[in-house]
Amino acid sequence: MPEIFEMSFIQYHKLGVNKDFGNYMQRKTQIGNDDEMLTRTKLLEAAVSNGTNTTDFRNDKTALFNAAVSALCDFSPLELGSASSNPIQILDFFSGAGGTSLGFAAINGVFPVFNFLAGCDINPISAATYSKNFGTPTVCHDILEISKTRENIHVFLDTVGFDYSKPVILIGCAPCQGFSSHRKKHWDEEDDDRNSLVIAFSRIVAEVNPDVFVMENVPEFLSERYWKYFNKARQFFSKSGYIVKQNIYNAAEFGVPQERFRSIIVGMKKNFLLPEGCFTPDEYKTVRDAIGGLRSLEAGQSDPTDPLHKAVAHKQSTVEIIKKVPHDGGSLPAGEGPKCLAKVNGFYDVYGRLSWDKPAITITHYARNPASGRYTHPVQDRGLTAREAARLQSFPDNFQFEGKSDDIYRQIGEAVPPLLSCGVAVNALIEYLSAGPTNVQLKNEIGSVEMPVSNSYSSLIAAMKKTRRRA
């Protein structure tokens, strides 16, 4: 064990960072060599001292990401208050089940940095899931109400035990349906509450004054039609002293076995670099990587060892349609299936099978229903089980979902994939701890989307690829 690590741990313990040394050293043997431990030690020292702006830790991003990914695989729900001594507070608004927070929790599996105060969600079942996994009280509130007045915001902060003297990262992944390409007929509506939720979060940021904030949404959030909502929020952020950067990412770039494009917006009160993906298209994780080892099931069957691995009992007519779809990426043959499909364009993927050796399509809460998209198992004649959907979203098996079957599929489909969150969390921490980027680093960063992109989904993806630059 390197002497610097041994000395540092003693210092951390005296400062109140609560971590069992035996478990910490066991983690070392699982995920890192001595050089990686030195990297993590430097980062932890900086975090405990509330950040340092004199050292550049950016070369450590890959090592920390890899270690955090390994830790994510071994995630277990946190006990109440178990992270309360960690130095950087996390508040997650519109938390859902906690997919975004899970990326930050993975870093805690490497060394203890983040203290989860609360995940706030208007859905009581989602709020309960967050509480169960992150060791926090169940917080079920309407963010619109919280954001109405300064008094409301501070009452909320006091309720969750917010410490104004400690650093904080705010997460705000507002429900995305208001911006989704599936609502094209309603794009010109001004009064969608889901759109105003973004403004509500910006008011909370302005009042709380976090060290870092992170927003996630569908790629259409940065389109011409919705740029006004983003721009209004950005004005709030800028008035509060934040530098704001944003881009569109494919979750597969971070090891998620799924093609899921999302906009990520990050703000800090100093210059910083945006996250960069770790995987190229030829390295993307696949459906086989995620679910290939699970027990084979027929419609209506369940795995006796895993309650989430339970196949829907489809109607026999549905099973007969599925049987006609070629295995491993096949599509519904022309003339098969409900006649209504032939009358409407845009339903090419319904009853389609996933491909074993490609990432999945975007997983939604409809993933168990083959009639809702390409959600049929590559070779088995059924829709996806909740376990399969969770793995394709990169949730670890030990993550525990509250609620009935419908609730679980909804929470999985609405979540930010934890591996994508892990990449964002690693980047946020290291940029927060590091000195400002050099001119060379800024020149070679992937760049920020500073003008609205086309409303066309394909154009959005093309814009994402165009902004990717490497040193």
Q: List the catalytic residues.
A: 176
Contact 163, 176 (CB under 8 A): no
Strands (DSSP E) contained in 232-310 are 243-250, 261-268, 302-303, 306-310
Residue with tokens 């704001």: 244
**Count of Cβ atoms closer than 10 Å to residue 452 Cβ:** 16
The DSSP call for residue 364 is: -
Q: Which residue type sits at 37?
A: M
Chain centre to alpha carbon of residue 371: 26
* Rounded Cα gap, residues 318 and 321, in angstroms: 5
Backbone phi and psi for residue 278, each to the nearest 5 degrees, phi listed first: -105, -15
- CA within 13 Å, CB half, 345: 0
**Count of Cβ atoms closer than 10 Å to residue 436 Cβ:** 14
Contact 167, 87 (CB under 8 A): yes
Q: How many residues does the chain have?
A: 471
Chain centre to alpha carbon of residue 99: 5
Phi-psi region of 16 (alpha: psi -120 to 50; beta: other; left: phi over 0): left
* Rounded Cα gap, residues 437 and 87, in angstroms: 24
* Rounded Cα gap, residues 1 and 35, in angstroms: 10
420: closest CA among 268, 258, 289? Answer: 258
Cα 327 to Cα 124, 289, 297, 332, distances in angstroms: 39, 17, 15, 11
